Structure 1
Amino acid sequence: MYETTAKRERAVLVGLQTGRQPDFLWKLAFEELKGLVETAGAEVISDVVQARKYPEPSTYIGKGKLQELAAVVKELEANLAVFDSELSPAQVRNLEQALDCKVLDRTQIILDIFAGRARTKEGKLQVELAQLVYSLPRLTGRGIAMSRLGGGIGTRGPGETKLEVDRRRIRQRIADLRAELREVRQHRQTQRQQRKKREIPVLALVGYTNAGKSTLLHTMIERFGTGSHVADSGRNRLFDTLDPTTRRIELPGGKSIIVTDTVGFIQRLPHQLVDAFRATLEETAEADLLLHVVDASHPEYEIQMETVYQVLEDLDASRKSIITVLNKMDLVKEEWLPDDPCSEHTFRLSSKSGKGIAELAAWVASRLNRSAVRMQVFLPYSEGPFLSKLHAKCKVYSQEFEENGIRLDLDVIPEYRERIAPFKVN
């Protein structure tokens, strides 16, 4: 939580269960909202939940439930109501009038946490862009949530200047930020090309927020690092790592690799953040190997795994080779957990104690050291699906499109040699 001398805001959570997703999934997301609000620095004092088929267009929840919520807010002296889904500007305005307190939605809470966690220039640019894209259609009818005098959650970072800029200036600022982030993407692309020229494999850590990715990276650097170390906060909180961390380590056998720690995923990650952080998340799509870190001690860890795979699908990175790490096994009562069927291999370890790290490093070294053979091949256009696999898992030096097919110069990994043999060009 943020260190502040101000009194903590008292929040009431509001949820709407429409039946569009299984009951247990909805409960998980709502419990996650509580963690987000507490991470943002507020005290959750109560919650109000309604079950109905569709949200009320004007107030999200029904008239009767709104009266009940207003009574709870007044009785408990709450000054913040947080809704579990994104609200329209009209809904925020109507809710604030009815409740006489600040109203925020799930997206604003996540954006607020990101605003407080960004440390690097790139991270701050990405958060500002996401906040401005979210706020632009909400400039009219600003209420308590947009007041500069109110302070507290939802007003940190670039949000503090919303009243001082008009739509034209915000659009211009958004354009400037996107231009700066395009330069960031070009810079990252140049770095990736240089790494490919030096043939240094890249291992990207992905996973649900608070799964222990940063601790795992810290432990790997402590044991195998070749350069500067990275501090491990050891804090058990959501989105503890926002700015990506990249380090070079030397695995057993002398194999050097680049390890990148990325921002954690979460259910219903706001699309504004996915778009703004695309330059960072592209590190995942371009990695040679993905290490999916899972908090095995979480009661719903399998659902969290599904969320991660969905985000990877959105980033067009689901075809990458994936290794699953069931982390925090020191907190798991069961002696055995099933393997992840979506990955090449499943490891069980504790990144905090270091147990199992050596076995993981040895396996990764062996996996990345599998010799690839350079070949020239000619694929007919009917082999389009196979071509996609080659691009995903092999290093392609060049490709030329001809009348009857595609001529490729590439490194072929062992698992594809037999499959590609008929298309080899002497």
Structure 2
Amino acid sequence: MREKQKALIVGVNINHQADFPYSMTELENLAAACHIEVVAEITQNLNRINKSHYMGTGKIEEAKRLLEETDAGVVVCNDELSATQIRNLEEELDRKVIDRTLLILDIFAERAKTREAQLQVEVARLKYMLPRIIGSRESLGRQGGGAGLKNRGAGETKLELDRRKIEAKIADLNKELEILVLQRETRRSQRKKNGIPLISLVGYTNAGKSTIMNALLRRSHQSPSKHVFEKDMLFATLDTSVRKIKLANHQPFLLSDTVGFVDKLPHHLVKAFRSTLEEAATADLLIHVVDFSSSHYENLINVTNHTLKEIGIDHIPVIYAYNKSDLADVEFPVVKGRCVYLSAKQDVGIEELVDIISGQIFKNPIHCEMLIPFDDGRLVHYLNENANVLSTSYEDNGTKLTVECNQDDFEKYQEYVV
């Protein structure tokens, strides 16, 4: 068990943002996820962030007093800081200073399980570090004057070497990532060929995407080994999982679980996880899962929609799943257009969600009868797995199925249609 560090959290509210108090609460939750205990908080209202020190001089003096009183060993800021801001704050406060971005990167690094997720996090972390190679004041040495490498101080030379090492490491990791991305793309195109629709769960971190996925897997009678990890914590899921869902009286579909979003999600992280998020970019339908029990749920919706727009997947049809309705003191399950109010944990409203999904992605199923010779039992099995078989009867010359299927299968097995 890691020993908890004590921290002072600092936030600057630019032009009185309405969601600022929630942002500070979330920063405390992010710190807790990194095993950091918040013991004090400082906030300041400004028109713009202080370029050299993030906050004003008066607040720096207040921070010094609080650090002494609470014995906090680290200062956590609610925005991404520049190298200059980190260096100046560390000099003034004599404490380690970290920003919101680094907290999120640390959580991702701890939670990443697959090789692809680990590589993506490491690339994002190194890109974050690159402009921030400051080095401790003691080790840099005095920088020499004059032109050419010979006359430069040891510190400057060391910085250049470190920078080159990091750039080389990023290039190596990106090469390895490209191979994994190609493998993912191959699997994706194979699934497209099969003609089974893909649905992606998207939403703010800890909204309940994995819980909804597991509720659907249980109804699809999938073995527990196919279930995805779910836990009431930030960023429980970093690795995209794709599962086939086949429910009674419904055609099958593929469901993918994606990494959750968060306010001020680091740009490098969004970029690094682009290949994973492309799973959602190729979806036929998105299920936007909302934590309806949160008093800030509208802000969480806006952050998710903004992130989807940023990665270019704001053109796909969306169903809103207002999860945790049992904690929101509202009537559920209730369906209003493309919105369903449900509780995945209580397994209430899942049937209604499936009906909306079917209505969206199987708008024009082809209803037909097929007579399949007895020696082609594999096709009967295929249709049971990949279409909605309404009835089965056995004739003298084969198995007769009444099915609802997609256009691709209808054309492929036209010879059996009666």
TM-score range, shorter chain: 0.7 to 0.9
Question: 5+ unaligned residues in a row in structure 1: which ranges?
Answer: 145-161, 374-410, 413-426
Bigger Rg, which one: 2
Matches within 5 A, 1:11-410: 11-19=7-15, 23-142=17-136, 166-226=162-222, 229-231=225-227, 234-335=230-331, 345-371=338-364
Alpha-carbon distance between aligned partners in 2 of 1:200 and 1:360, rounded to the nearest angstrom: 18
Shift of 1:335: 3.3
Shift of 1:79: 0.4
1:185-217 deviations in Å (ceiling 9; x for gaps): 222221121111110111100000010001111
Alpha-carbon distance between aligned partners in 1 of 2:274 and 2:110, rounded to the nearest angstrom: 19
Give 3-state SS (helix, strand or coil) of 1:174's partner.
Answer: helix
Give 3-state SS (helix, strand or coil) of 2:246's partner.
Answer: strand
Amino acid aligned to 1:70: K
2:6–2:36 contact (8 Å) kept in structure 1 = yes
Shift of 1:364: 1.5
Give 3-state SS (helix, strand or coil) of 2:18's partner.
Answer: helix
Give 3-state SS (helix, strand or coil) of 2:172's partner.
Answer: helix
Change (3 A) 1:246 1:143: farther
Amino acid aligned to 2:195: E
Shift of 1:54: 2.2
TM-score, scaled to structure 1: 0.77
Change (3 A) 1:60 1:182: same
Output the aligned Cα RMSD. 2.5
1:16–1:61 contact (8 Å) kept in structure 2 = yes
Give 3-state SS (helix, strand or coil) of 1:24's partner.
Answer: coil
Amino acid aligned to 1:236: D
Shift of 1:184: 2.4
Alpha-carbon distance between aligned partners in 2 of 1:16 and 1:338, rounded to the nearest angstrom: 40
58-67 or 116-125, which deviates more:
58-67
Amino acid aligned to 1:107: T
Give 3-state SS (helix, strand or coil) of 2:293's partner.
Answer: coil
Alpha-carbon distance between aligned partners in 2 of 1:313 and 1:245, rounded to the nearest angstrom: 22
1:82-125 deviations in Å (ceiling 9; x for gaps): 00111111211111122121100000000000010011101100
Change (3 A) 1:208 1:224: same
52-61 or 295-304, which deviates more:
52-61
Give 3-state SS (helix, strand or coil) of 2:10's partner.
Answer: strand
Shift of 1:227: 6.0
Alpha-carbon distance between aligned partners in 1 of 2:38 and 2:102, rounded to the nearest angstrom: 16
Alpha-carbon distance between aligned partners in 1 of 2:161 and 2:52, rounded to the nearest angstrom: 27
Give 3-state SS (helix, strand or coil) of 1:166's partner.
Answer: helix
2:326–2:332 contact (8 Å) kept in structure 1 = no
Alpha-carbon distance between aligned partners in 2 of 1:41 and 1:290, rounded to the nearest angstrom: 33
Number of equivalent positions: 349
Alpha-carbon distance between aligned partners in 1 of 2:351 and 2:229, rounded to the nearest angstrom: 22
Alpha-carbon distance between aligned partners in 1 of 2:302 and 2:74, rounded to the nearest angstrom: 32
1:288-314 deviations in Å (ceiling 9; x for gaps): 110110000000101111111111111
Shift of 1:252: 3.3
Give 3-state SS (helix, strand or coil) of 1:255's partner.
Answer: coil
Shift of 1:142: 4.5
TM-score, scaled to structure 2: 0.78
Partner of 2:375: none
